[in-house]
């Protein structure tokens, strides 16, 4: 009787580029890896062109690296003749043609793909196995377990738990280094007037061949690219260079200017490591450990508040968002607490608005596939929420436009933190503001067509009337929130005539939103 040879097919997704994964520790001739550029993934959102090119370039380099290490690898390119453009169909074909006896994959980060591969594995008449991605600090279920039976899912509680569990910036077993868990009061300053623009560290990758292949298809993308000088890291080596650059040059002021915004400074002291981390070219542990080692090397130059603020983003916010995602999906993607129904203004796709803050945040997003956190939260997100835009529309925009946008971290930030569509799972109050906050944290208002100090009348800043209109409209849902009560006291004390004028101004702006 002929003995069937065990042959294993292992699927690697475009955001699973972790070369340190235990899969790759030994070369096994029984194992063949497959990576594929496919339409289900290019088309589930209208992605920024830099996102598609960046992912394909990184996938191609990853597959080359595996090949050099002598692993068997099949790489299916977008326009390959036999590409059936779906994970399941391409795998089916390979299993049939090559007589694989086993199918294996790593846990996808996205619910949609997770369901797809779970169902696919179930449908097979060969054995299948699932592996962890060996990337995150926490498991999918860890946050849910920590908060079991609790009504509130406080990020701060999760963050402290993570610090203790992983012994990061901890002394005596369970105490925070330097006596406090959070040093935010030392952070978040506006840039001084004499601030010299920072130069971001950019790569000059040539991705013209991939761009040419993309152009042969009907795939719709947004934004622009300089494909001869593709600026994002596309492999581990470049990702480590960007990490080194960040800790050496930006970390010393990371916390201080974390929330600052300025025209022509599109990334300031931010790391721009989210693409490398989300595709798993870098692990969060590598990033956190490198930042801590730089702090230890230069204690006189790097203050502790800068380091703690950075570590919190990764061990805290990033892992927290993932935990919420796996606890609350798939319902999370349908939540719309304020029952908002409006469309996004057209200028979200062009940047052509007279509002200087939005013009800058959107234009740089189209140009670089990047905006930093406060631009996403307090400029574009703030406006979308004040304008009553349907969270589905807001999600689709954020999922497409940013190089680092993957559902698990995009939706929790957008629908949750930014749009409060989850009614307060991620945040305790909606992040909305008038021009006062934007002017405090940026220099946008000085160059704006609108007048930041006017609520009504000619050239009144739209944020001002829309802000009060939002609170007025959602009084029944928000006025009992202890963190907002004060605002309602101010609103109620305003003269009825002044209130009516503000609401009228807001109504006018909402009706003419595409002309703002």
Residues that bind ligand SF4 (CB under 6 A): 355-357, 435, 438-439, 444-445, 448, 450, 452, 461, 463
Best CA proximity match to 288, nearest among 300, 273, 301 = 273
| Of 48, 51, 376, 474, the one binding ligand FAD by CB under 6 A | 376
What angle, 0 to 180 degrees and rounded to 10, lies between the N-to-C axes of helices 462-473 and 496-511?
A: 110
Residue ranges of alpha helices (H) inside 369-495 are 373-375, 382-386, 391-401, 407-411, 435-441, 462-473, 475-478, 485-493
Residue 448 interaction partner, one of ligand FAD, ligand DLZ, ligand SF4, none, beta carbon < 5-8 Å per kind: ligand SF4
Residue 373 interaction partner, one of ligand SF4, ligand FAD, ligand DLZ, none, beta carbon < 5-8 Å per kind: ligand FAD
Residue 122 CB partners (closer than 8 Å, separation 6+): none
Residue 108 interaction partner, one of ligand FAD, ligand DLZ, ligand SF4, none, beta carbon < 5-8 Å per kind: ligand DLZ
- The distance of closest approach from Cβ of residue 400 to ligand FAD in the complex, given in angstroms and rounded to an integer, is 10
- The distance of closest approach from Cβ of residue 264 to ligand DLZ in the complex, given in angstroms and rounded to an integer, is 29
How many other CB atoms are found less than 10 A from the CB of residue 47?
A: 26
381 binds ligand FAD (CB under 6 A): yes
Best CA proximity match to 366, nearest among 380, 351, 379, 354 = 351
* Region of 40-48, 140-148, 315-323, 465-473 interacting with ligand FAD (CB under 6 A): 315-323
Query: 460-481 burial by CB neighbour count: b if 16+ within 10 A, else e?
Result: bbbbbbbbbbbbeebeeebeee
**CA 383/CA 348 separation, integer angstroms:** 11
Burial of 243 (0-12, 13-18, 19+ CB in 10 A): buried
- The distance of closest approach from Cβ of residue 327 to ligand SF4 in the complex, given in angstroms and rounded to an integer, is 35
Taking a C-beta distance cutoff of 8 angstroms, is the pair 90, 84 a contact? yes
The structure tokens listed for 34 are 């497959």
Residue 355 interaction partner, one of ligand DLZ, ligand SF4, ligand FAD, none, beta carbon < 5-8 Å per kind: ligand SF4
Residue 13 interaction partner, one of ligand DLZ, ligand FAD, ligand SF4, none, beta carbon < 5-8 Å per kind: ligand DLZ
- The distance of closest approach from Cβ of residue 347 to ligand FAD in the complex, given in angstroms and rounded to an integer, is 18
- The distance of closest approach from Cβ of residue 507 to ligand DLZ in the complex, given in angstroms and rounded to an integer, is 39
Angle at the Cα of 118 from the Cα atoms of 117 and 120, rounded to 5 degrees: 60
**CA 402/CA 47 separation, integer angstroms:** 8
Identify which of residues 52 and 361 has a Cβ nearer to ligand DLZ in the complex. 52
Residue ranges of alpha helices (H) inside 44-183 are 49-68, 87-98, 111-123, 142-146, 155-165
Residue 118 CB partners (closer than 8 Å, separation 6+): none
- The distance of closest approach from Cβ of residue 229 to ligand FAD in the complex, given in angstroms and rounded to an integer, is 20
Residue 444 interaction partner, one of ligand SF4, ligand DLZ, ligand FAD, none, beta carbon < 5-8 Å per kind: ligand SF4
Residue 47 interaction partner, one of ligand DLZ, ligand FAD, ligand SF4, none, beta carbon < 5-8 Å per kind: ligand DLZ
Which residue in the block uniquely carries the two structure tokens 């800068």?
306
The residues binding ligand DLZ (CB under 6 A) are 13-15, 36-38, 41-42, 47, 52, 55, 108-110, 113, 406
Identify which of residues 134 and 451 has a Cβ nearer to ligand SF4 in the complex. 451
274 binds ligand FAD (CB under 6 A): yes
Residue 41 interaction partner, one of ligand SF4, ligand FAD, ligand DLZ, none, beta carbon < 5-8 Å per kind: ligand DLZ
Identify which of residues 279 and 439 has a Cβ nearer to ligand FAD in the complex. 279
198 binds ligand FAD (CB under 6 A): no
Residue 237 CB partners (closer than 8 Å, separation 6+): none
- Residue ranges in contact with ligand FAD by CB under 6 A: 270-274, 277-278, 313-314, 317-318, 321, 372-373, 376-377, 381, 398, 402, 404-405, 409-410, 413-414, 417-418
């Amino acid at each position: 009787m002929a003995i069937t040879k065990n042959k294993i097919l292992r699927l690697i997704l475009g955001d699973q580029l972790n070369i340190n994964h235990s899969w790759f520790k030994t070369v096994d001739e029984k194992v063949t890896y497959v990576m594929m550029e496919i339409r289900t993934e290019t088309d589930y959102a209208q992605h920024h062109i830099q996102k598609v090119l960046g992912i394909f370039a990184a996938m191609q380099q990853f597959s080359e690296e595996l090949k050099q290490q002598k692993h068997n690898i099949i790489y299916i390119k977008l326009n390959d003749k036999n590409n059936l453009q779906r994970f399941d169909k391409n795998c089916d074909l390979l299993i049939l043609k090559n007589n694989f006896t086993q199918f294996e994959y790593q846990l996808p980060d996205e619910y949609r793909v997770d369901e797809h591969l779970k169902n696919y594995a179930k449908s097979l008449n060969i054995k299948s196995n699932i592996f962890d991605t060996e990337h995150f600090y926490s498991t999918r279920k860890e946050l849910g377990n920590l908060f079991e039976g609790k009504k509130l899912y406080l990020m701060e509680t999760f963050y402290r738990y993570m610090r203790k569990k992983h012994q990061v910036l901890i002394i005596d077993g369970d105490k925070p280094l330097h006596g406090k868990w959070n040093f935010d009061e030392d952070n978040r300053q506006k840039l001084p007037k004499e601030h010299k623009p920072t130069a971001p560290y950019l790569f000059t990758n040539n991705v013209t061949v991939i761009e040419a292949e993309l152009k042969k298809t009907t795939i719709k993308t947004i934004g622009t690219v300089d494909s001869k000088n593709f600026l994002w890291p596309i492999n581990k080596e470049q990702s480590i260079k960007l990490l080194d650059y960040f800790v050496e040059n930006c970390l010393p002021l990371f916390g201080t200017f974390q929330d600052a915004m300025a025209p022509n400074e599109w990334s300031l002291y931010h790391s721009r490591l989210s693409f490398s981390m989300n595709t798993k070219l870098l692990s969060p542990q590598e990033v956190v450990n490198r930042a801590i080692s730089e702090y230890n090397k230069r204690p006189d130059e790097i203050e502790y508040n800068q380091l703690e603020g950075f570590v919190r983003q990764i061990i805290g916010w990033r892992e927290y968002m993932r935990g919420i995602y796996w606890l609350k999906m798939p319902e999370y993607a349908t939540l719309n607490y304020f029952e908002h129904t409006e469309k996004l203004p057209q200028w979200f796709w062009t940047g052509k608005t007279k509002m200087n803050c939005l013009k800058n945040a959107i234009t740089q997003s189209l140009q670089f596939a990047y905006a930093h956190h406060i631009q996403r939260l307090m400029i574009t997100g703030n406006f979308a929420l004040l304008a009553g835009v349907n969270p589905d529309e807001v999600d689709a925009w954020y999922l497409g436009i940013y190089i680092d946008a993957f559902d698990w971290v995009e939706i929790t930030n957008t629908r949750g933190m930014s749009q409060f569509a989850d009614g307060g799972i991620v945040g305790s109050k909606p992040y909305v503001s008038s021009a006062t906050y934007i002017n405090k944290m940026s220099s946008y208002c000085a160059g704006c067509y609108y007048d930041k100090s006017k609520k009504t009348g000619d050239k009144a800043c739209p944020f001002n009337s829309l802000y009060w209109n939002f609170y007025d409209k959602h009084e029944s849902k928000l006025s009992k929130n202890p963190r907002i009560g004060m605002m309602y006291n101010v609103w109620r004390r305003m003269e009825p005539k002044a209130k009516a004028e503000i609401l009228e101004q807001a109504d006018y702006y909402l009706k003419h939103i595409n002309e703002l």
